[in-house]
Each structure stands twice: as C-alpha cells, then as structure tokens.
Amino acid sequence: MPENTAPNPTDAGHEIRTYFVRNRNALVARATFSELYVDYFLHAGEQKLRVEPSHAELFKRALAAFALHLASRPWNEMTAWTIHFQQPLLNLFLTGDNETGALTGRVFTEDVKEMQGNLFYADTVRPGQPKRRSAVGFAGDDPLAGVEKFYAQSEQRPARFFQIADEDYVMVAEHPDCDKAWFDALTTDAMRTLDQSETLALLERRIYRWHCGCNQERMMEVLLPVMRRDAGELFGGREKIEMRCPRCGARHIITREAMEAFAAGKK
C-alpha cells in the first residue's frame, strides 16, 4: 500500500498535556480544542462535506476524547475508533497515529448499517503485534458514554471525561492503586480547580495535527481491484470519477488515463 503523505512539520499543531496526580495514582490529560475544531471545520468546508450541526457537535465531543486518549497511549501506537449511533443513525470515525501526531476523522450518515443498539469499536495497532479490536455496547446519545464504557470494559482501567468549558476537556484515568473514592467522586467543578486541590506532575507535552495523509496514489490502490475486474463498471463511460477518502472525506479526482497507467505499473 502506498505511504500516506506526512504531516507538515512547520504546522504548530495542538498541544495536549498529561499529568500524574500525586497521592491519587491517576493520570490526567487535558487540552483546549478550539483550534483543532477550526481545522476540522475548515477541512469540511474545503471538501464540501455537509455535516448537520447536531452531528458536528457529537463529532467534536468524540474528537476531544479521542485526542486525549491518544495522548495517554504509547508513542508507537495507531488507533481507530468507530462510534455507532442508532438514533440518529450515524457513525463517527476517528483515527490517529501517535508516531506522527496525525489525527483525522469524519461523520458517516449514508449507508450506515442498523444495529441492535449503540456500539463502540476500537482498533489498535502496534509494530510487531497483531491488531487488537474491542467492541462494547453503550446507552444514550453522548459519545463520551461509549468511550467510558470502552475504558471500563476493554481497557480494564476506568477513565472519566469532563467538559470544563465550551471547548476544554479533561480525561482522568485510573492507575494501579488509584484512590478509588476520590476518582468516583470527581465532578466537573472539581476538575476546574484541580491545580489548586491536587499536586500535578507534568508527564508529557504532545503535539497533534489534523491530518489524514491521503493522496491520489492511495485512492487508486483502493480502486485497483475493481479496475482490474471491470474498468467499464468503475468509470461507466466517464473519463474521470470522484472518490471520497474513507478516513477524512477528502475529494480525489481520478482520471481513467491515470488509473490505467497505475494498473499497468502494478502488473
């Protein structure tokens, strides 16, 4: 498979900080997501992706939780989440690479399969290890409920998520010997004053960028099996087709001439 286009190193990116809460044995990850949200909406506008405002709000909450999750994970890990809702019927998709700090995603509302209920899927890949998939059901209309259920059931270390301002989020995850009573009693107001009430030791500052890395070559690789089976079916008499990246929804125009040359070079 062709390589993704790498993130632009001159892009300042968005910082997420993680801390260890002394005497509580818990990890805290927190960030302000204003600029990352701007990047998402700019991308959606440039690619002419129509996202209902209510769906965009769901995606924003899921994006914040996903980024905080990434920042708490090993550097050599790639992760993808799919959060399926039955009402409204849609999927939220997010994917990120901790090695490059790239993350992206999109909202799916077309051709979404109906399930028995809401489902949260997490796929994790590390070099030299088999891909790991987790799937949990959850109730309600908040993606954070799905994330917390995933942590409790699949990660086997509970985590809680708090929105402490319009675009500010905090994640608190248990470590071994965590002060369970303190963890369970946490409130949104308590998270706003955490610096005053607890001793926080900075662990890391990580930088993330809204970036997919999709390119025309990768799109043609996806189309190659259909091209080899029936080029007429793929193009339908047209000289070019439009394809949407399944990860970020970006538009890619593929000409028949380019596709034929790509297929010839793969023989």
C-alpha 186: how far from chain center: 26
Residues 6+ apart with CB under 8 A from 102: 4, 7, 96, 208, 209, 211, 212, 213
Range among 81-85, 125-129, 228-232 with highest mean pLDDT value: 81-85
Question: How confident is the model over 130-145, as pLDDT tens digits?
Answer: 999 999 999 999 999 9
- pLDDT confidence of residue 1: 47
Residues 182, 244 within the same domain? no
Residues 56, 177 within the same domain? yes
Query: By CB neighbour count within 10 A (0-12 exposed, 13-18 middle, 19+ buried), where does 231 fall?
Result: middle
Question: How confident is the model over 222-267, as pLDDT tens digits?
Answer: 899 988 898 888 888 899 999 999 999 999 999 999 998 998 988 6
* DSSP labels, 244-260: E-TTT--EEEEEHHHHH
Under a CB-based contact definition with an 8 Å cutoff, are residues 115 and 84 in contact?
yes
Residue 190 lies in a domain: yes
Residues 206, 134 within the same domain? yes
Under a CB-based contact definition with an 8 Å cutoff, are residues 31 and 14 in contact?
yes
- pLDDT confidence of residue 267: 67
Instruction: Name the DSSP class of 140.
Output: S
Q: Phi, psi (5° rounding) for residue 47?
A: -95, 5
Structure-derived torsion over alpha carbons of residues 118, 144, 41, 165, reported in degrees to the nearest 10 = 150
Question: How confident is the model over 158-206, as pLDDT tens digits?
Answer: 999 999 999 999 999 999 999 999 999 999 999 999 999 999 999 999 9
CA separation for the pair 195, 33 (Å, rounded): 19
Residue 259 lies in a domain: yes
Domain harbouring 258, CATH code: 3.90.1280.10
